[in-house]
Structure 1
Amino acid sequence: MTLHVKLVVDTADAPALAEFWAAALGYVVEDNSALIDSLLAAGRLPPAATAEHGGRRVFRGLAAIRHPEDPYEETTGIGTGRRILFQDVPEPKTVKNRLHLDVHAGEEGREETVARLEGLGARRVEEVDRGPAGHWWVMRDPEGNEFCVA
């Protein structure tokens, strides 16, 4: 049996980090505003569970991005394919991630991709050159989560 999975990232500001990663990966930030409006209208969601971000209503402390070519539910905005979810947590990040993303740009595109990600708010941490085993940059997203660009 094959299972459907998605990656969930703990955040301090889910909508902002979702926007960073959508721009970094070429993904789309999910628009759940129609779902939120219908839940509010039906009294199934308290207004305190929502917030305003980028001119639309969002779930407070939650955001998601999806691959632009993957299917999604038009009435909810929720992707049914490759997704990354972001959820606010009360505690700050304190140690190295135990899981991270590897962004594959290829030898020719690595420096250009690193520079583009820096322009979005990421920062370089360390360049790693293991010869035939690989060459990559360790970076941090705007909240300090480590990822690699190879």
Structure 2
Amino acid sequence: MALGWKLVVDAADPHGQAAFWAAALDYEIEDNTPVIERLLGLGAIDASMCVEKDGRRNFRGAVAVRHPDDPVAPDTGIGTGRRLLFQRVPEAGAESKRAKNRLHIDVHAGPEQREATVAKLVALGATRVRHVQEPQGEWTLLLDPEGNEFCVA
């Protein structure tokens, strides 16, 4: 049986990264209100571990985005399908980045939508690095707001 998975991305500003990637991929920022309220009620966490964003409580140090068509666990608000989880780590961020990512996201826009998609992502805060045209394919390399490489193919 195949295993489920999520991609976890270290971030200096997980909520900023989640907002960027949700807009970039047309994903939704997860609403973890049910699990946060339950944990607060049990005294397992306190309000300092939460932050208010878009009128709802979120965990301060982590937030996920998910594909809008994928299922969600009703008792937690956590997606059970395609997800990116951004977690705060002190060493993350563009200023601390010194090497190429060992793992990166490829956004599949298709040749007819590549330039429009790149323009949208730049408007959201990405930085265009270069366009690549090689025998095996064509793509544009960009950096997200924290300096992580990703490609639009």
Smaller-chain TM-score bracket: over 0.9
Is 1:135 aligned to 2:138, yes or no?
Answer: yes
TM (norm. structure 1) is 0.94
Q: CA deviation at 1:53?
A: 2.4
RMSD: 1.2
Q: Percent identity?
A: 58
Residues 5-45 of structure 1: CA deviation (Å, up to 9, x unaligned): 11000001111111110110011100112321221122121
AA of the residue aligned to 1:137 = T
Of 93, 100, 104, the match for 1:96 = 100
Aligned residue runs from structure 1 range 62-141, under 5 A: 62-92=62-92, 93-94=96-97, 95-130=99-134, 132-141=135-144
Q: CA deviation at 1:2?
A: 1.1
**Residues in 2 aligned to 1:42 and 1:31: alpha-carbon distance in whole angstroms:** 19
**Matched residue SS, 1:108:** coil
Aligned residue runs from structure 1 range 9-20, under 5 A: 9-20=9-20
**Residues in 1 aligned to 2:122 and 2:150: alpha-carbon distance in whole angstroms:** 13
Length, aligned pairs only: 149
**Matched residue SS, 2:84:** strand
**Residues in 2 aligned to 1:106 and 1:50: alpha-carbon distance in whole angstroms:** 39
Q: CA deviation at 1:141?
A: 0.6
AA of the residue aligned to 1:122 = A
Aligned residue runs from structure 1 range 34-45, under 5 A: 34-45=34-45
What is residue 6 of structure 2 aligned with on the other side? 6
**Matched residue SS, 2:112:** helix
**Matched residue SS, 1:98:** coil
Q: CA deviation at 1:55?
A: 2.8
**Residues in 1 aligned to 2:12 and 2:144: alpha-carbon distance in whole angstroms:** 12
